[in-house]
Structure 1
Amino acid sequence: MQDLSDLRGLQDWYLRYELTAVEGVSEVASIGGFVKQYQVVVDPVRLLAYELPLHKVKMAINRSNVDVGGRVIEMSETEYMVRGLGYLGSMTDKEIDATRRAGGSVEEERTQRVLDGLGKIALGVSPEGTPIYLRDVADVRIGPEIRRGIAEWNGEGETVGGIIVMRFGENARATIDRARTRLRELEKGLPPGVAIKIAYDRSDLIDRAMNTLTHTLIEEIVIVSLICILFLIHARSALVAILVLPMGVLMTLATMYLLDLNANILSLGGIAIAIGVMVDSSIIMVENAHKHLERDRHLVEAGQTPRSRTQLITEAAIEVGPSLFFALLIITVSFLPIFALGEQSGRLFKPLAYTKTFSMIAGALLAVTIIPILMVFFVSERVVPRSLTTPKRLAIYIGVILAPAVLLALMPLQQFSDYRWLLVGGWLVLSAIIVLPQKIINEHRNPISRFLEWVYNPAFALVMRFRWFTLLAAVALMASTLWPLSQLGSEFMPPLEEGDLLYMPTTDPGLSAMKARELLEQTDKLIMQFPEVQTVFGKIGRAETATDPAPLTMIETTITLHRDQHKWRHVPVERFWGHWPRFAQPLVSWLFPDSRPITIEELAYGYDWPDGTHFPGLNEVV
């Protein structure tokens, strides 16, 4: 089945209804192909010869294709409902089975019956008493409806597409997964030669946005671990900072869930920005606890009575905890003016301000609650008491370190099969850090600290000796940045490099459908010549939905780029269009480097049709 009218019928009467039933889908808008239409072409000469008005023909057609009720009749003490079946092309189950057994097409048989039924519609009686049928005054045929939208795939020719519109407030990733699953199921029942291709969805963008947050969290954990281990030479102390990061992120995500805030690029960006600040409080408190323990050891060496480790850590937390708490709150207050933004800027950046604020509040709360408790457990030389006998300590070490690792290695965890040994290795390292003894070393015995002090002390003495010169040099250095700063460009929001492109040229008003199809196919063929391009889905005009009022002069081509960077020529995205052939460059009048700003601008400020009609946006008064 390669006919465009058949493909459009398959989309409109099969795929569209199946996909609309998917949870989270609002509507499925069809685009491209030909909508099959039964056309009655009236011959005015024959109509005049029979002395029939046109409105009588229209009325007869409208009345012919309906079912009517005839109430009931009573026969043999039983009521029977009476109705007249008037739908054109109706076939009983027996007739359908007979057609299939004969090797015929049910659709073709039904179509022919509709044509025959239309031709047999009675319009009246001639003066001679002969019935006048519709076929006597008109030609009845199959034809396409007037097209206001065309779809094209990879420059290979016309195709039929469907645009799945998600309900407001639904989970985009879950809806996409459900729609993809349903498409795979529906594809199995399609006629031979018909396939379903996905031109674009947001799943890749969503996944990469989540991966950015995950990578930022992992990088921060690794950096904090290395810094704590290098400067404190105590791996267990690093766990305090490591555990605070995911706890702060989880608290932020939980708050977003309770307030019904969506996770998008900007909201996740707010969390990523706050991660670096959240971890500062734990590092400062852990370092201060080490200083208190070191100071107590010096006092013990001087002959004083040793104090409780828990008491020393509590004093260290009380000493810097309030300052850290209010410092994080002050940083939080600095983001509050963003909530005063309105219009497009407010819609864009308020999610970032919300998540940044939630993250900072979570960090402030953790600084005075969880971090001191974690320090009591982890900032110590040993977790397993020294009072236990050696066999008992060995049993604890083996039970905590080796037993879970062996279980992870042997358990049939299919979903984690690719990461099994990574999980085993991670558990071995983590459990060893937690339970094995680790001596807390004084700062002056750390070679890195001694080296930094050796560099810092003379530098500090020098700047304090020439303090006025240092201040003047700092002011001069700051003043020297004014001219480069004035030469820097500025923009409200940098382009979002989501990995795909939306190409939107416009044509002169009055473009015909045939010429629009030709132009769309030519531009898609040119775009497919770039090795970086994977697929091209071209659309000109509007889809069958109220949310897409695009005229036939507007092209919207979705360009999906290869995710395999080896197929790229390392050319910046904005330079792709400079490689077009010279004769094709005048075609480009509008170009948006991604799929989002055009929709935001249209939503906020409206758009203009080629005839000058302006449709207002949300920020305009009608």
Structure 2
Amino acid sequence: GQTRPRRELIIESCKEVGPSLFSSLLVIAVSFLPIFALQAEEGKLFHPLAYTKTFAMIAAALVSITAVPPLIALFLKKGKIRSEAENPVNRVLQRSYRPLLVKAIRNSKTVLAALAVAVILTGYLFTRLGSEFMPSLWEGSLLYMPITNPGISVTAVTDLLNRQAATLKAIPEVEDVFGKAGKYDSPTDPAPLSMMEFTVQLKPREKWRKGITEDSLIEELDRAVDIPGLNRAWTKPVRGRIDMLTTGIRTPVGIKVLGKDLKVIENLGQQIETALKGVRGTKSVYAERIGSGYYLTFEPNRPVLARYGLTVGDAQRMVETAIGGVSISPTVEGRERYTINVRYPRELRDNVEKLERVLVSAPTGAKVPMGELGTFKTRLGPPMILDEGGSLAGYIYIDLRGRDVGGYVDEAKKVVAEQVKFPPGYFARWTGQYEYLERVRDRLKIVLPLTLVLIFFILYLSIRSTSKTLLIMVSVPLSLIGGIFLMWVLKYNTSVAVWAGAIALIGVAVETCAIMVIFLDQAWKDLAKNHPHPTEENFVQATLEGAQKSLRPVLMAVAMNIFGLIPIMVAVGIGADVMKRISSPMFGGLVSLTILTLFVVPILYKMREQRVLSKPGNGKFYA
């Protein structure tokens, strides 16, 4: 045929692929809008990823329509442009692809039926996946938090700390153990004395016994410290601190019982504790005994006090001095400052009988024992009063094993609703990681559909065809077939990390499918130009020609992403748990996306175009 100027060919080629390429890159950038909508902890974790990807795609989109065309004209001035047929790899791929595509087109109903079966099967597998806020991140250490009933003495707690620490350290995988009971000298740590914490530093994994996993190690550690009356929970140091600071709950799932009477709240908490013990996945459940703290009170005998010329304040000050002590002065030791506190020695105040023998000086000079001036009594009361939203609160801690957070809470809610009756003015609020999960779900329900609508609008402006835009958009849910299947094989739960990977797949799916549609469009334009009255065979050949021309760019786009994800899929160590959840829906989705783009899209495109072009009065051609 007639030789056309190189510059004219370059301009025509850029006009052909430029708009679609620009819109595809823009779609990838827009697809990350749901990530930008995330808040709090999940937002801080994934916003850097979204910013990096978005700015890179925006820059690539601008470069593709500004710098690339003149660079092509500059560097392709001389020399021969080799055809795809001269590439040995491409020749092998083309020879393998064409007969498979021919069979797929000839048996299009079978292919679409197989696709429908795959969609149904994937939907079933998706319902079998659990849900959680974030996957458990390996930190190299564990946080063991036992809790006992209020009223335990300092001596008993100290003995329990030493015994538990020694037991934990006897496990070969444990490097060191540090335990503490009660609160630090900080207002952000309002832990009672009955709440203990052990930071268990583990040895590197290569020094573990053969066959030991993280879950089996936790089970072994938990059995070793199993003591009646001690409720145990296991988490990670960083994860546990974040949960406690944000929700006040130290376990993955918790319940806050809110109301106006502490006794009723405690009773409801114990009912919920009993009900949840039978729910599958419950490792331990403990409702705080918010009214079971022990108090020693002194009830003054006013007539006796008056007889000795003493006041109630005189007697109470002596109780305060003897038991709690009085700060008399600070002392400075170098750069450190300490308070000097004076009180009775322990051997003179460690039981009620000895306190009754404490002497009080009367104005008359007489020394009167405290037992004569009043009565010491023990009573129960709240060791700590919690409130939230203007209501008193009681916490229930739930530790899980072998169950996802979302599925567990859904079942537990039904059990609580059936077995526990809340009086008017009292209610339960589920919290912990489940609270984060609900927050993410509610936000994605709004932002994700809006993002898909925006992507549809961008594609429509580029393609100017509703049906073709819908064809490309179909790739978004269908590309998740492989991702969901891979997650099911790896036994991953859905989480924010998984949704981040699925959202990243949206842009890649749209871009890859758009490449195929561009080449099919060009092939069918040539068909309309060269065959005014096409036959069925002409339709098939046009589809084959367009699909074969798109084979190399489609495989390059997909392979580039797959090769980039392989190091993440085989990674180990700290951080790999989260990164694998991000990459697994993309990795599996790219595999199914390749099959979808190379076989299903050409079939659907042919069916659509053949139906449109074969209508009488279409104005194009009619066979």
TM-score interval, smaller chain: 0.3 to 0.5
What's the TM-score once normalised by structure 2's chain length? 0.40
User: TM-score if structure 1 supplies the norm length?
Assistant: 0.40
Between 1 and 2, higher relative CO (CA 8 Å, sep ≥ 6) is seen in 2
